[in-house]
Structure 1
Amino acid sequence: MGDTSLWQSLMTQELNIPTLAEDIVSKSKQLDNLVSKSNSLVRASYKLTLQEQRLVLLAISKLDSRKIGSHPNPKHDQMKVRISAIDFAEVWGISPKKAYEELREASNELFERKITEIDGKKVSKMRWVSKSEYHDGEGWVSLTFSLDVLPFITLLRDKFTSYKLSMVSGLRSVYSIRLFELFAQFQDTGILRIHLEDLTNMLEAPYTRYTDMARRVIRPAVEELRLKSNLEIEWRAITEGRSVKTLEFKFKEAAQGKLDL
């Protein structure tokens, strides 16, 4: 027994295999990472798959904006983030095998994804990343955020939203994640009022009728947030004439605390 323990100890040291305790600490640190976005990015129009959303959020949480500084032309490597399949699996609670597949798929498509920002009559479009590399066989991806999107995720001093990565780690719907971010933006008041058309455009949801938005987007997202986030949520549709024009959400932290996922 003694020889076996010594062999295992030597193997762990030589291969630098983390212990269970180290794994837990590593995961805990990652889940404590902050995701910070400007409020305009939170409310911008874009559509990502769940895998792409997870990749973007994890990358933002790892981005060290202090290294970028206020220089108008930050170095290429200062905008670059490396995500391993192991990191991806730990944070999002999936198997390493599935993480490899999702990471490869997300990195392949993310370069083509755009963000549309509307400021009055001005409409601006930008890419999330200027470069995406997947290293097949090694199980990691490197993302380089575009210069256009960088001001929306770094050096944020006002009008921004922050939350811990752990607060969305259990969510399985892109709509739930986006709705959570809107709630986080209005956490001081606990009330979000938003035009139905604005919400539909933000999510780039493929529905034009309120009944479809309610059935396929809002109700499922609210239900998932109630089950998996530390939130109590009530919402209602506000009509003008015969049409639903505005949605009102009232939310607060649940007294019983977050459920184990």
Structure 2
Amino acid sequence: MNEQLSLLPTISSEETVNQANKLIETPQDLTMQEKRIIWVLASFIDEKDTNFRRQKIKIEEFAKVIGITSKNFYNVVEDTIEGLVGKTVTINEGDRRIVLSWLSSAVYHKGKGIVELEFSEMLRPYLLQLNQHMLRTSFKLRNVLALKSRYSGRMYELLKQYENKESRYYPIDEFRELLNVPEGTHQLYSKLKEKVILRAKKDLDAKTDITFELKEYKESRKVVGVSFVVSTNLSNIVSSAQQLPHVHSK
């Protein structure tokens, strides 16, 4: 493992996040703030990196980027990071079921306002050395930092894979699982559509580089699946000079 620490003075919204589609298509139990941490750390990875680097980040800057605005932001950032350290993701690879942690460690430098974070080594196949010929999805960090909810963030990741490609069909149960919609919440499809899908569409249309059209599939009047036709949102293609967007604390 590379022990060299990289001091990153700023977090740039123009950096690119690369993820294996296998990771994106895996259910993830993360809050929006935890998800922003993953995106920011992924944006630090260089395509030539063969190992994860421990990243030094200023906690005050981190708080602004992940949407923490309270006066005691140091404590809130620590709580958010420690919550993420304790979470796992389960990936099915053939006959293997892999349960792995998102982060391997979090080190706080007392009195300096700095935290060091490093991805779990087991995430290497899903975040490192993802060349153009692999099944990966890439996007600019600015597309996701300003999104309002974790549902919007997850829908962006899932749908970005299919931008200007064939439509993507999801059975309703699979779609709910991928977005981590709690059991018993938005049980009726009409509520899921109103509170999750259409709100996410409004968010994506306003802030990201993709938009989508929704199609519903019914059996005996019940919606059993949905498909999305994803296209480039030309109104939000911006110059590389754009600053970090305002992020929401939800």
Give the TM-score taking structure 2 as reference length.
0.78
Q: Report what 1:149 is aligned to.
A: 123
After the TM superposition, which residues 167-182 of structure 1 pair with which residues of structure 2 at under 5 Å, given as runs?
167-182=143-158
Q: Structure 1 residues 207 and 252, CA, compared in 2 at 3 Å: closer, same or farther?
A: same
8 Å CA contact retained: 2:33, 2:66: no
Which of 105, 112, 128 is the equivalent residue of 2:86?
112
- Per-residue Cα deviation, 1:67-98 (whole angstroms, up to 9, x for no partner): 42xxxxx5xxx432222234425645765957
Of residues 19, 38, 49, the one that matches 2:31 is 49
C-alpha contact (below 8 Å) 1:92/1:170 kept by paired residues:
no
| Cα separation, 1, equivalents of 2:54 and 2:29 | 22
- Identify the residue that residue 181 of structure 2 maps to in structure 1: 205
Question: CA offsets per residue over residues 157-193 of structure 1, 9 Å max, x none?
Answer: 2000110101112112111111111121111316332
Deviations along 1:182-239, one digit per CA (max 9) or x if unpaired, are 1211113163322222221122211453344323322221221122224333213211
How far did residue 140 of structure 1 move?
A: 2.5
Query: In structure 2, the residue corresponding to 1:245 is in which secondary structure?
Result: strand
Matched, 1:195 2:174: no
Q: Which 5+ residue runs of structure 1 have no aligned equivalent?
A: 1-22, 69-73
Alignment of 1:176-255 (within 5 A): 176-189=152-165, 191-207=167-183, 209=187, 210-255=189-234
Paired with 2:67 and 2:175, the residues of 1 have a C-alpha distance of: 29
Residue equivalent to 2:241: none
**CA distance in structure 2 between the aligned counterparts of 1:98 and 1:172, rounded to whole angstroms:** 22
Change (3 A) 1:150 1:228: same
Q: Percent identity?
A: 26
Q: Is the 8 Å Cα contact of residues 51 and 103 (structure 1) preserved in structure 2?
A: no
Higher RCO structure (Cα 8 Å, ≥6 apart): 2
Q: Deviations over 1:24-53 (max 9, x none)?
A: xx56xx111111110000111111111111
How do 1:51-90 residues align onto structure 2 when only pairs under 5 Å count?
51-64=33-46, 66-68=48-50, 74=51, 78-89=52-63
Which is further off, 149-158 or 94-103?
94-103
* Matching residue of 1:3: none
Distance change (3 Å), C-alpha of 1:230 and 1:188: closer
| Bigger Cα displacement from structure 2, 245-254 vs 148-157 | 245-254
The code of the aligned residue for 1:116 comes to T
Q: 1:122: Cα distance to partner? A: 4.7
Q: Which structure has the larger Rg over C-alpha atoms?
A: 1
User: How many corresponding residue pairs?
Assistant: 227
CA contact (8 A) 1:89 1:96 kept: no
Amino acid at match of 2:82: N
RMSD: 2.8
2: CA distance, partners of 1:258 / 1:85: 30
- Shift in alpha-carbon separation, 1:213–1:122, aligned structure 2, 3 A: farther
- In structure 2, distance between residues paired with 1:80 and 1:256: 37
Cα distance in structure 2, aligned partners of 1:48 and 1:134? 22
SS at match of 1:103: helix
- In the TM superposition, residue 144 of structure 1 has moved relative to its aligned partner by 1.9
Residue number among 91, 114, 130 corresponding to 1:140 in the alignment = 114
TM-score, structure 1 as length reference: 0.75
- Looking at structure 2, the residues matched to 120 and 195 of structure 1 have their Cα atoms a distance apart, in angstroms, of 21
Q: 1:123 aligns with which of 97, 101, 122?
A: 97
Aligned residues of 1:110 and 1:132 also touching (Cα < 8 A): no
